[in-house]
Structure 1
Amino acid sequence: MAEVREGWQPKLVALDIDGTLLKWVQGGGSTHEEVAPAVQDAVRRVLDAGAHVVLASGRAPHSMTVVADRLGLHDAAPGGDRLWIVASNGSVLVRYPPLEIVREETFDAAPAVRAVLERHPDALVAIEERGVGYRVSAPFPEGELDGEQIVTHLDEIVSMPVSRVIIRDPEATADDFLQTAGELGLHGTDYVVGWTAWLDLAPVGVSKASGLEYVATELGVDATDVLAIGDGRNDLEMLRWAGRGVAMGQAVQAVHDAADVTTGTVDEDGAAQELSRWFPA
């Protein structure tokens, strides 16, 4: 919907987190996450107008509620209702606060994980340990996973159905993983490859789009009235599904191709630029 109808205003705004709402800022000898004031103000105007804001991320629920708190989303949610959050790339749907898992899609990840590890034997594997952090086959690079990392034998990690599996190879590239995933077909699982050699495995047919479709139905909002903004390959389905899909300026080409339009980069407060078009100051 690149050409919007006259008088159109989103009834639901779906926002990716990393690279859309949050940017990494260096200063004081460390690197930290930051939501720019312009983005914070724009999100508040969306809520003040009575539209719904739904966070949609590959993150686990516990690290998404922290962002919701930082933005003050539940303080100004329409009608004072609890927030909807689409976590783990659509595999887990959450109401907050308090944190309540409304829906969770799981699958047997063992065959796909072992197939990838045959080609990337040094890759790291992680699954969410709800409310704590992650169970990992070995520690991930610092800053890449929120919460505690509990080192666990691989057999135990993939012994039970899971909603999402992360496979990370610090020595490989995103293109390496794209080729591996494409050649393997991943035996019935869906996959997303991130900026680096980071592979998310999810149940078949599950994505941010499928999660948002469920939430939109619950809220009585049609997809044509949804504005979605994102920057990663895990946003492709969401951007195609939404009435208006917007790519962040720094996104890879596949994301631009899936979107209706492109806004500024995260360092240019691109999310605020797009939101201000429909919810001006």
Structure 2
Amino acid sequence: MTEPPAGWQPKLVALDIDGTLLKWVVGQGSTHEEVPPAVHAAVGRVLDAGAHVVLASGRAPHSMTTIADLLDLHGHGDRLWIVASNGSVLLRYPPEEIVHEETFDAAPAVAAILQRHPDALVAIEERGVGYRVSAPFPTGELGGEEIVTDIDELVAGPVSRVIIRDPQATADDFVQMAAELGLHGTDYVVGWTAWLDLSPVGVSKASGLAHVAEQLGVDRADVLAIGDGRNDLEMLRWAGRGVAMGQAVQEVHDAADASTGTVDEDGAATELDRWFRDASSLGSSTQGFA
């Protein structure tokens, strides 16, 4: 665990959404679409200080702009940068404008996975609508409309991201499967449950943020990133300061420079308040957990 130099303050704050800004619904693979007041206030102080806030998530663009609205991120003038689909899609908002997208041929990887998990569900983003799916996903796990589509049609052309979900398996099952298959031609990340994201090789939240930071003229040393999932590993390693949420798996803590409280403890606000505090809080200590 390392600490930034004395007097350091981030110029860009990269924030994961689910499990970082939003709290999980108990017993479901979804989060409450509600930003806790402490997190909202802390993000507001980041913007007031003149730093950039960039949302970085595995979510599709249409379900990230709604969180930007909840956070009032666009109330400070400049159009936002958003890193969506685990770095495969970069957009500006508002209005929503896709400025960069990475795609790949997912058919071979999907076929290999379905040989191992023939009952697994497959989803591809349907821009601005929701997802095309091989069969309906568990309630609340995907945002927007679900359009049932034949598997061959789902992966017939280039895609930016594929979701594989098997409600009958575990995250450990998927970690082992992904390691054994190698998934040549793709990068992958396993979620909290048996949820696998496939993306183009070399594409991650880190690669997306590197592009955004370059556009904004911000050095990676001046970036603070906060996240809780395996899809945050590259981002936490890339940023000048990477911080893991308290409930993250050990692999995520190991990749981070520091850890903060859990999402239920508003850990993101705790970390942000270390670097961006208003006058009323200067007398109190809001240190993260090393």
Alignment TM-score, normalising by the size of structure 2: 0.93
Identity %: 83
Q: Which residue is equivalent to 1:266?
A: 263
Structure 1 CA distance, aligned partners of 2:105 and 2:4? 42
Structure 2 CA distance, aligned partners of 1:252 and 1:273? 19
SS at match of 2:24: strand
Q: Which residue is equivalent to 2:195?
A: 198
Residue 230 of structure 1: how far off its partner (Å): 0.1
Cα contact 2:34–2:70 (8 A) shared by 1: no
Q: Which residue is equivalent to 2:75?
A: 75
Count of paired positions: 274
Q: Which residue is equivalent to 1:43?
A: 43
Tell me which of 159, 176, 180 is aligned to 1:162: 159
Structure 1 CA distance, aligned partners of 2:239 and 2:225? 6
CA RMSD across the alignment: 1.0
Residue 140 of structure 1: how far off its partner (Å): 0.2
Question: Once the two structures are superposed, what CA deviation does each residue of 1:10-42 show, in whole Å capped at 9, x if it has no partner?
Answer: 00000000000001357xxxx843211000000
Distance 1:158 1:243, change over 3 A: same
Structure 1 CA distance, aligned partners of 2:176 and 2:243? 27
Which sections of structure 2, spanning at least 5 residues, go unmatched?
279-290
Q: Which residue is equivalent to 2:170?
A: 173
Cα contact 2:46–2:52 (8 A) shared by 1: yes
Structure 1 CA distance, aligned partners of 2:3 and 2:192? 30
Tell me which amino acid in the other structure corresponds to 1:36.
P
SS at match of 1:191: strand
Structure 2 CA distance, aligned partners of 1:59 and 1:11? 24
Alignment TM-score, normalising by the size of structure 1: 0.96
Question: Equivalences for 1:54-69 in 2 at 5 Å?
Answer: 54-69=54-69
Structure 2 CA distance, aligned partners of 1:242 and 1:278? 15
Which sections of structure 1, spanning at least 5 residues, go unmatched?
none
SS at match of 1:217: helix
Cα contact 1:25–1:33 (8 A) shared by 2: no
Tell me which of 99, 102, 110 is aligned to 2:107: 110
Structure 1 CA distance, aligned partners of 2:184 and 2:199? 12
Structure 1 CA distance, aligned partners of 2:32 and 2:49? 31
Deviating 4+ runs (over 6 angstroms): none
Q: Which residue is equivalent to 1:128?
A: 125
Question: Once the two structures are superposed, what CA deviation does each residue of 1:38-92 show, in whole Å capped at 9, x if it has no partner?
Answer: 000000000000000000000000000000000000012xxx2100000000000
